[in-house]
């Protein structure tokens, strides 16, 4: 690693935020993280798709809260009562769009050189960029832009071309 953050071969080392939801570990480019809120009051949205857990107010703005487990095809681990308090929220931004992802634990930042041609698990949705070995087990590296586009697509908020 050079002093300017470049790895051998000119690849850039990217800061990743590691977080856990249930027993699964995830990572995301820390530069796409708007903030990490320690707790959030969740308000359910009637007739919303299962991956949209609800909305929360963060510093005066409404943010959509999504469940990664539902987006990955699993069962939800959080209570879907009319109101619930969430452990932590990782707020991801891409341009004007932002969503909050629920996390049980924030493990901190690590630097990783991203593969030019990542090997994404064949059954994984397109927002899973790749999977790599971490200290706590396998880590799913999420693509923030594709995650936000996937949230909109699953909610029926436009076609592939109009998604962010």
pLDDT of residue 82: 39
What pLDDT digit, counting tens, does each position of 96-109 carry?
889 999 898 999 99
Which residue has better confidence, 142 or 50?
A: 142
Which residue has better confidence, 125 or 31?
A: 31
12-16, 80-84, 91-95: lowest mean pLDDT where?
80-84
Instruction: Delineate the domains of the chain, giving CATH numbers in brackets.
Output: 20-154 (2.40.50.180)
pLDDT of residue 1: 47
Res. 159 pLDDT band, cuts 50 70 90: very low
What pLDDT digit, counting tens, does each position of 58-88 carry?
988 889 999 888 888 765 555 444 345 568 8
Strand, helix or coil for residue 8: helix
What pLDDT digit, counting tens, does each position of 35-49 carry?
999 776 888 888 888
**Average pLDDT value for residue range 8-31:** 87
Backbone angles phi, psi at 93, to 5 degrees: -125, 140
CA distance 148 to 64: 10
pLDDT of residue 161: 44
10-14, 133-137, 159-163: lowest mean pLDDT where?
159-163
- The residues, ordered by sequence, that sit 6+ positions from 6 with a Cβ below 8 Å of its Cβ are 12, 13
CA distance 94 to 24: 24
CA distance 75 to 42: 18
**Cα separation values, 73 from 15, 116, 123, 154, Å:** 27, 27, 10, 12
- Torsional sign, CA 80, 84, 88, 94: positive
Q: How far apart are the first and last CA of the chain?
A: 33
Q: Where are the beta strands (DSSP E) in 10-104?
A: 13-21, 24-29, 33-37, 40-43, 52-58, 61-66, 83-86, 88-94, 97-103
pLDDT of residue 146: 93
pLDDT of residue 9: 55
Share of the chain above pLDDT 90, in %: 30
């Amino acid at each position: 690693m050079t002093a300017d953050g470049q790895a051998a071969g000119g690849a850039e080392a990217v800061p990743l935020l590691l977080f856990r939801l249930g027993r699964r570990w995830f990572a995301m480019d820390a530069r796409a993280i708007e903030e990490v809120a320690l707790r959030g009051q969740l308000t359910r949205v009637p007739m919303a798709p299962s991956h949209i857990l609800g909305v929360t107010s963060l510093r005066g703005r409404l943010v959509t809260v999504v469940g990664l487990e539902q987006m990955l095809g699993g069962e939800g681990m959080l209570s879907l009562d009319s109101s619930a308090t969430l452990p932590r929220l990782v707020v991801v931004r891409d341009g004007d769009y932002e969503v909050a992802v629920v996390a049980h634990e924030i493990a901190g930042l690590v630097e990783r050189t991203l593969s030019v041609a990542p090997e994404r698990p064949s059954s994984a949705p397109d927002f899973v960029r790749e999977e790599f070995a971490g200290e706590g087990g396998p880590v799913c590296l999420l693509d923030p832009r594709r995650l936000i586009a996937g949230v909109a697509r699953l909610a029926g908020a436009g076609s592939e071309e109009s998604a962010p």
